[in-house]
Structures are given as C-alpha cells and as structure tokens.
Chain A
Amino acid sequence: MSSVQNELDRLLLKVEKPARYIGGELHSVVREPAEGTVRFAFCFPDLYEIGMSYLGLNILYHLLNTTEHTYCERCFTPARDMMAAMKDNGVPLFTLETKTPLKEMDFVGFTLQYELSYTNILAMLDLAGIPALSCDRAEDDPIVIAGGPCAFNAEPIADFMDVILAGDGEELLPKVCRIRKECKETGRTKLDFLKEIAKLQGVYIPRFYEPVTDENGAFAGYRKLWDGAPDRILKAIVHDIDKVDFPKELIVPLIEVVHDRAVAELFRGCTRGCRFCQAGMVYRPVRERSEDKVIDIAKTQLENSGQGELSLLSLSTSDYTKFEPLVTELMGYCKDHQVSLSLPSLRMDNFSFKVLDEIQGVRKTGLTFAAEAGTQRLRDVINKNVTEEHIFTALEQAFTLGWTSVKLYFMMGLPTETYEDLDGIVDLARRIMEKAKEHNGGKVGRYSVSVSVSNFVPKPDTPFMWVRQNTPEEFEEKHYYLKDRLRKIKGVNFRYHGSYASMLEAVFARGGRELSGALLRAYELGAAFDAWTEGFRQDAWEQALSENGIDGSYFALNDIDPDMPMPWEIIDCGISKEFFKDEWNKAQAAVTTPDCRLGCNGCGINAHTECRWGGIYAE
C-alpha cells in the first residue's frame, strides 16, 4: 500500500463520512498499472456524493479503462474538514483507486458541469501540489485537461487548463490518451503533444491563443500565438452513439449518494429548442440509442449492481422514438425484479399517466411541471411549449388518479419579464389549488402545490446569450413579491435561490480570461463549494472581484450587441450565429419556433453531421 494509505488511516477517523475517501466500491477498477500506462485521474470538482451521481463519469471511466495502456481513476473534492486535515498532515490529493498522488498522473481531468464549481478545481490542484496556472507547470507535471458543458465557455478557467475538450468526449478522450502515450515513448515534449492534439476536432489549447482588447478595454477577439492552431475549435461530435460502448457495470457507491441507480441514456440533444437551454443547443443533433441497446444496458446494469432503481436519462424523455414499447418492456421487467423505474422530464400525456400510475402505484410522489414562466406570452418568448390547457388537462387526470402533490418549476428574470408574468405564477398556483380542492370536498387537506423559482442566467450558445440578467436587487424584489402573494394561498409553498450566487454564475458563464485572477483570489480567501448555499462566501467573492478590478455587473448585467465578438466564440458549437440571432429576434416578438420534428429550423448543425429529425412528423 502507498504511503498515502498509512496517513489516511489516521485522518479518516477524524473526518465526517470517511467512506468518501476510501474507494473500493464494487466495479471500481483497481490495477497495478504496467510500465508505460497512461494514467488519468478523472476529477469531479464537488463532493463524492454529487460526483458519483453523474453518469458521464461512469461513461468515461469505462471507456478509458477499456482503452489499451490507459488507466483511469477517480478523485472528488474533499469536504472542508478533510481538506484541512490533509493540509495539516501534508497528505497530497490522491486517487481513490490506488491512493496515488494526483501529481504522479499523466492527466488530471476535470469535468465542468457548473460554473460554481471552479473554485473547487483550484482547491483540488492546490491540494495536489500542482501549480494552478498552466504557465507555471513543469514538463513533468500532469497535463490538466477539462471538458463538459461549461467547456463551451471555459475562458474564465482557460489559464488553469493545458487542454479543453468541447463536445462529446467518448471518442476524443481515448484518442488523446493514445497520442500521449506515443509522444511519451518517442520522447517528445509536452508542447509537441499539445500541438499534435490541437489538430483534432474538439481540442482547444488555450495557450495557443491570446485575447486582445480594443481601445476601450473590451474583448476584441484572439491573437494566435502558434500559426498551426485552428481559428476556431469545432466541438467533437459522436455521429452514432449506438457505436460507442456504454457501461454495463456502474460503480456501486458504498455510501448514500444523490442518485444511486442504474441508468441508461436514451438520446443526446433535443429538438424542442427552448431558448434558455444550453444543453438543448450545444448537444444537437438528437442522437438516439437503439431500443435493444437501451434494454440490454438497463437489464445488465441492474443484474450487475443489485440496485433498486432504474432511471432513463435524456433532455426530454417522452420524445424517444420508441418510447412506448421501450417503457412497457422495462416496466414489466422492473416489476418482476422489485426495481423502481424513474422517468425524468416526462411530457404529461395519456401514456405518461398510464406509466406513472403503474410505476408509482399507491405511493405517488409529486407530479412535476416545468412551466418555466407564468404567462403564455412569456412561455412563447422562451419557446417553452407548454400551455395552461396541457397543465390543467394533466392535473384533472392526476387528481382523479390520486396524486396530491404538484411541483411547479419557474425561471425568474427571463427576458421581457414583467410583474404581470409573476402574477401569472401566483394565479396558476391558485387555480391548481382550487382544482385540488374540488377533488377534496372543498378542503386543502393533503394536497400541496410547491412553487420553485430559479434565477435566469444567460448562457453562451443560446439565443439568450446576449441578454442582461436581473440585478440581485431585482431578483430579491421579485422573490418578495411572489412570497407575499403565494403565502396567502393555503397549501402552496415557495422556494427560491440566492441571487448573488446566480450573478456569479452569469459572470463565469459570459466572462473571459480576465477572471482567472479573481478566481484564484476568491479561493485564497476561502471560497469553495460555491454551488452550496451552506458555507457560500459572498464576502470572499466581493473582495476578490474588487481587488482584481472586476465589475461583476459588466458581465452579468449588460445587454450585449450580438455583433460584438465574444470570448466563447473561439469554440464553435456547430449552431450558426444567424440562427441564434433569428431566435433572439423571434423571442422579442414572442413568436415561437416549432419542434424540429415538424420541420427543420435551419440551426446549421447538419453542416457538420447528419441530422435526420427535420420534419419527420410533418403532415
């Protein structure tokens, strides 16, 4: 056993939930790596319980560990108590599988799931003893690499990364590892390696580009520092997801994690075109996994893990082409094997009710509607294709079948929003409660409606990327406005998010490299786990931004001229700028764009890969 293990024996008795740090789970891969193996540490910049609930980790872990001469291990952000204990005792951050210090890896790879995890990346590099800035790293330091949804604007962390991967990683990442091995064997330098992989679609090497500013100090584009680097980096695309291996054995956590279940991805992408949704844009086109594959994956995973829950994943589950036969088959299987089936993002139609009624039986959990906005006008602006008629038809059915709790999700601060739209939220909640009472002899009883409001954050590569966010004060005023009105309705409860953290999210969604200093400083001042309400250090962030001369409102609270160059445009998500502009214009006029399946909307992704969805359901 490594020396880290000896130290750990002492530390683990002191910290909360020590099992976060021990590894050893069923289906985790423990090996003695042979000489010349490329060693990859897959790092999730949040707690074990969060990271282990993320499917992408299992997909890449499996792919890398079935790639020749490659060994992938895991690492998560230690909780604050463990961080302190490790620092006090000089224990470096290590991989769970072999307890090897991260510094000894060939690659330290971070998944970028949300902007508010960036300080955790710095914490992990710090604990690992790896210099935070790419330019400070030595030839034998690991290559720090990152990918995931935030890679579509990773500029705020570009100075910390040697490599950023945009798009689907399943084919790209193993290729990058193979090239690393070749370069090592032939004695080529890190720079040679970076130049070599820069040729691959989806690979962005930040050090080959330097941002330039205009006379006013505003971002004006990039200057290339190496001529061989591409002008823009087109995202990597897996053309046929049926051809990439999907894990049939998921790591089975030893402790309770957020989502502990077997899971099969139905498809990637979405044809609905909600204008606020980054995932729905950057993961176009829709690519489905075949029905047979999904069934095989689901059953084998359940057999191999003994898990009690199966979940089918995608952005809009009901849109799967063979949804009914697939769900019917899996429902039968789950029933026979005492497994509960969970189907997130369902559209509430007749079939869904039949399914929900059957899988939830007598224990009906809440019924969820992502209405997103309170009036039809605003739903048209954001292109969320849900009408009140849908909601009330569904509710009528739900109450009749015995549901008693309804959850409504809204976004606040959407472009063009007025207080009328907020009144719409209150009105909707009130009328749902009234409907519930009709089913309960005029009383509220066990019925409940919960209203959850999140703060709108403009995201790159969406039609709303140029729109300003509400100020924290505006958000707060709106929260109070809603709270005041909703609490008067019996049976309705209200939840909302902190507004300063949302502003920070917008800053890091739309900002550029000038933010790296503030990030470093915020971490020094004690910021970490910024996505957690508990322990969020607003004071540290305020100080860090101001010391670095960063005005958060410049990034978050300004409307942007769509013709101005933007830092994230270095990455090409495959959707044309014209499409985004058109969508933004239509949004302002509250004109909707129909689902692609009724007719191709010309987003431009089919210039890069086949998209077979345009108009498949057209009359």
Chain B
Amino acid sequence: MQNSFHRYLFGFYKKGNMRFISHLDLQRLFKRCIKRAGIVPAYSNGFNPHEKINIVHPLSLGFETEQDYFEMDTETPYETDFLVDRMNLALPEGIRFTFCREIPYSSRNSSSITESSLYEAFLPASQNLNIDGFIIQDRVVILKKDKKTKKMVEKEVKNWIGRIELIRESEEGSTVSMLLRSAPNETLNPVNLLEALCAFSGAAFDRESLRVTRKDLFARRGETLVPLSRYYEQEHQNG
C-alpha cells in the first residue's frame, strides 16, 4: 500500500513581504493552495488525518528565499507541469513554485538528507569585516537566545560553518555568503553568526536593516554537496 504513493518535490521562492510569513503559516498556506488547485494529497492515517506534506528545513521569519523545497505525497499520479501551474494560481504574490519533479517515495523525507543551507546577507551598516581572522579562531562563539530561559547564552559553532566569504563591500555595506550546516530541528541562525563576526571585526551591526536570503539547500552525494533540486537527478542516473 505504501509503495503506491507518489512523491513530488517542489522548489519555491518566498520574497518581499512574504518573508514575514512564518513556517506554520506557510504550511497552512500550502495546504489551502493544494485544496484550491483541486489536487488530492495523501492523508496520514489515524484519528486526526492530515495532509502528507513537508517543508524542508523551515526558514526563519524575516528571511527571503530564492530556492526552498516542499514535498507532497499523493495516491494518484499527476503531471508535474500541471501541479506547478495549478498551484501557482492559488498563491499570493511573492511566493511561487519554480519547478516540480517526481522523486522516489520513501519513508524518510528530504529533510533528513539535507545538511546545509547557503545564505547571502546584506549588512548595510557594516564594513571592514575580518572574516579570515574570525574563521581561523579555535573556537567560534556566538550568542543565542535560549528557547526556555529566554536568556542569551554562548554557543560554540565552528563545526556548523561550512564556508563564509565576503562577496562585495562598498560604501553602502557588505554582502556576505555563508554555507552553514543545518539539521531538521537545529540550525545555526546566520544573524547570530553575523553579529559575532561584526563584534569580532569591531564593525557596526544593525539587526533591523539586515537582509538575509537563503539561496539554496544542499544534500550530500559522496564527497560533494549538491543542491536538493539536483540530488534526485543524480540518484536517478546512478541507479
């Protein structure tokens, strides 16, 4: 029975004011969008059945994304172009599905294979960032809010950082690219990392004018990280 499911992987972007839509609200939005498009998703079993959908590694409120991922299971097959077209009709401006492909059904979803996020941040207030010095430290310590106590606590995050580099610096500010490890339930928030970087560099930091965009999510295939959009492509070829 399980094998009869079809799984579709969608890429989507979320821009402009839509960055203020939280993960839970986005889930509700996608559920409605499916319903409005007249698509019948698979439902979980049990007392309170819900749609079998998954948003891969939730994005923090306030960030934009150029390429995030969404998965949906169905019992009947659909044309992938049809899915994208129909579902895009039911989305508010600022959120769009960019592609859809059928991927092999598995009891594990794509969140479990995703291990890195690529972010780009524009820091209008910050200049002269000492990235090399920052990253070469034995311990890279950030301050983050403890979820339970709401107090700021220190955390060592060196092995969460894949890569961090300066893309541009001008009078207007600095643009930094960061490849950070992520897990389904834990991520390194790039804002906290940038705050530590600015403090280390003696640069100004203005949390409210910071703009963060997620560029893509990556999974590991052997030695290399590949964007999730291409991950299944390769698997297909290999298999």
Cβ < 8 Å to B, chain A residues 324-366: 337-338, 362-363
Q: State whether A363 touches B48 (Cβ < 8 A).
A: yes
How far is the CB of A362 from the nearest CB of chain B, in Å? 7
Residue of B nearest to A303 (CB): B36
14 chain-A/chain-B pairs, Cβ below 8 angstroms: A10-B209, A13-B207, A14-B208, A18-B61, A254-B18, A256-B25, A304-B36, A306-B31, A306-B32, A306-B34, A306-B90, A307-B32, A307-B35, A338-B35
Q: State whether B47 touches A363 (Cβ < 8 A).
A: yes
Q: State whether B25 touches A19 (Cβ < 8 A).
A: yes
Chain B residues within CB distance 8 Å of chain A: 16-18, 20-22, 24-25, 28-29, 31-38, 47-48, 61-62, 90-94, 207-209
Chain B CB within 8 A of A244 CB: no
Q: State whether A23 touches B208 (Cβ < 8 A).
A: no
What total of chain A residues lie within 8 Å of the partner, measured CB to CB?
A: 25
Q: Which residues of A have CB within 8 Å of B24?
A: 256
Of A14, A306, A308, chain B has the most CB atoms within 10 Å of the CB of A306
Residue of A nearest to B30 (CB): A306
Q: Which residues of A have CB within 8 Å of B28?
A: 256
Residue of A nearest to B37 (CB): A306
Residue of B nearest to A30 (CB): B93
Closest 5 A-B residue pairs measured CB to CB? Answer: A306-B36, A306-B32, A306-B35, A22-B17, A18-B20
Chain A residues within CB distance 8 Å of chain B: 10, 12-14, 18-19, 22-26, 252, 254-256, 303-308, 337-338, 362-363
Determine which of A14, A23, A254 lies in contact with B21 in the assembled complex, contact meaning CB atoms within 8 Å.
A254
Residue of A nearest to B39 (CB): A306
For the complex, what is the distance from the CA of A145 to the CA of B92, rounded to whole Å?
A: 31
Q: Which residues of B have CB within 8 Å of A12?
A: 20, 62
Main secondary structure of the interface of A (DSSP, over half): loop
Residue of A nearest to B206 (CB): A10
How far is the CB of A384 from the nearest CB of chain B, in Å? 36
Q: Which residues of B have CB within 8 Å of A254?
A: 18, 21, 25, 29, 92
Q: State whether A252 touches B32 (Cβ < 8 A).
A: yes
For the complex, what is the distance from the CA of A143 to the CA of B77, rounded to whole Å?
A: 56
Of A19, A254, A305, A337, chain B has the most CB atoms within 10 Å of the CB of A254
For the complex, what is the distance from the CA of A305 to the CA of B35, rounded to whole Å?
A: 8
Determine which of A13, A19, A26 lies in contact with B208 in the assembled complex, contact meaning CB atoms within 8 Å.
A13
Q: Which residues of A have CB within 8 Å of B61?
A: 18
Q: State whether A19 touches B92 (Cβ < 8 A).
A: no
How far is the CB of A363 from the nearest CB of chain B, in Å? 7
For the complex, what is the distance from the CA of A12 to the CA of B33, rounded to whole Å?
A: 26
For the complex, what is the distance from the CA of A14 to the CA of B206, rounded to whole Å?
A: 12
Q: State whether A19 touches B21 (Cβ < 8 A).
A: yes
Q: Which residues of B have CB within 8 Å of A23?
A: 17
Known contacts A254-B25, A256-B25: does B31 contact A19 (CB below 8 Å)? no
Q: Which residues of A have CB within 8 Å of B93?
A: 24
Q: State whether A255 touches B21 (Cβ < 8 A).
A: yes
